[in-house]
Amino acid sequence: MVKTALVTGATAGFGASIARSLVAKGYQVVGTGRRLERLNALKKELGDAFVPLQMDLQSKENISEALEELSEAFQRIDVLVNNAGLALGLEKANEVNFDDWETMIMTNVMGLTYLTRQILPGMVERQSGYVINIGSIAGNYPYPGGNVYGATKAFVKQFSLNLRADLAGTHVRVTNLEPGLAGGTEFSKVRFKGDDDKARKIYEKANSLQPEDIARTVVWLLEQPEHMNVNRIEIMPTSQSFGALPVYKED
Ligand code: NDP
Ligand code: 8X3
């Protein structure tokens, strides 16, 4: 039986690459995002195995309505890849625009949890399924300006682990996939509100991860035997490592 994966954020970056890789592996893929024209372009490229589903993760009503639109053949979701998300700004906590915090929490936390809550009962009923959450190293290590973005990803990590606890005995697997610096996506363009130059500089000479690296990891996870659950997988480009913890000294 053909398996169905729902991949959020399929209009760009990791999500588009994950959708391509899963279709290549024989999955039916429901790809979501707000930009319908991007989803339609992917449909043109991938054919009948790809179903575009416009969905704004900031709205519970919109998520529910979108899921109801799915045809019978695509309603049984075997794999949920909670990939969509964003960072906005790198300002200090005392200087940020609060709306940016709200948008990140609504998308990365509220949207992800609501969609998961909608999909999980079917998986539990069928005693089979896989939820792959795209977290971030930002949920593991603090950095200046990471404030709420990192906190949303820490939430995603702990949510993933707590899902494992609730799903014990159901055969439903959960992984939190935690990438580090990754280029080839719109992540920094979004973070810097369309400032392409600023975004480009982040990746210059960095030999960063690419969307295909993340897609390959998703495929690898899905290829592991059902008795094995990868709880968390943290991946960095080889060029990225750890900084010292700074100590500010005052006279
Ligand atoms: P992109 O900006 O390229 O893609 C983000 C995707 O999220 C888009 O498809 C976008 O679709 C979707 N999205 C954003 N807001 C919403 C919303 N309100 N409703 C529905 N979809 C939404 O970024 P990446 O591919 O890099 O990021 C994917 C995930 O990986 C994110 O969760 C990010 O935090 C995480 N990540 C990224 C890293 C990186 O360095 N690139 C590293 C670690 C983690 P649309 O705008 O069409 O709605
Ligand atoms: C994206 C990685 O380090 O820019 O989640 O926050 S980082």
What is the CATH classification number for the domain harbouring 14?
3.40.50.720
User: What average pLDDT does the structure give for the chain?
Assistant: 98
Query: Does some domain include residue 188?
Result: no
148: CA distance to ligand 1 center in Å? 15
CA torsion through residues 161, 98, 111, 41, sign: negative
Q: Residue 20: CB partners within 8 Å, gap ≥ 6?
A: 42, 45, 46, 215
Q: Does any domain span residue 214?
A: yes
* Beta carbons of 235 and 209 less than 8 angstroms apart: yes
- 137 Cβ inside 6 Å of ligand 2: yes
Domain contains 196:
no
In a domain, 93, yes or no: yes
**Using CA atoms, how far apart are residues 58 and 1, in angstroms rounded to an integer?**
33
| Residue entry with tokens 């973070």 | 191
Structural domain includes residue 246: no
pLDDT by 10s per residue, the chain, length 251: 999 999 999 999 999 999 999 999 999 999 999 999 999 999 999 999 999 999 999 999 999 999 999 999 999 999 999 999 999 999 999 999 999 999 999 999 999 999 999 999 999 999 999 999 999 999 999 999 999 999 999 999 999 999 999 999 999 999 999 999 999 999 999 999 999 999 999 999 999 999 999 999 999 999 999 999 999 999 999 999 999 999 999 99
The C-alpha atoms of residue 150 and residue 141 are separated, in whole angstroms, by: 8
- Please check whether residue 216 lies inside any domain of the structure: yes
* Residue 169, domain extent: 4-181+209-235
Q: Is the CB of 10 under 6 A from ligand 2?
A: no
Q: How many whole angstroms separate alpha carbon 12 and alpha carbon 26?
A: 21
Catalytic residue of the set 114, 149, 203, 248: 149
Question: Helix, strand or coil for residue 55?
Answer: coil
What total number of domains does the chain contain? 1
Any idea which residue has 């300002």 for tokens?
A: 91
Instruction: Clarify whether 149 is annotated catalytic.
Output: yes
Each residue's pLDDT tens digit, 73-119: 999 999 999 999 999 999 999 999 999 999 999 999 999 999 999 99
In a domain, 197, yes or no: no
| CA of 193 relative to ligand 1 center, distance in Å | 14
Is there an atom of ligand 2 within 6 Å of 136 CB? yes
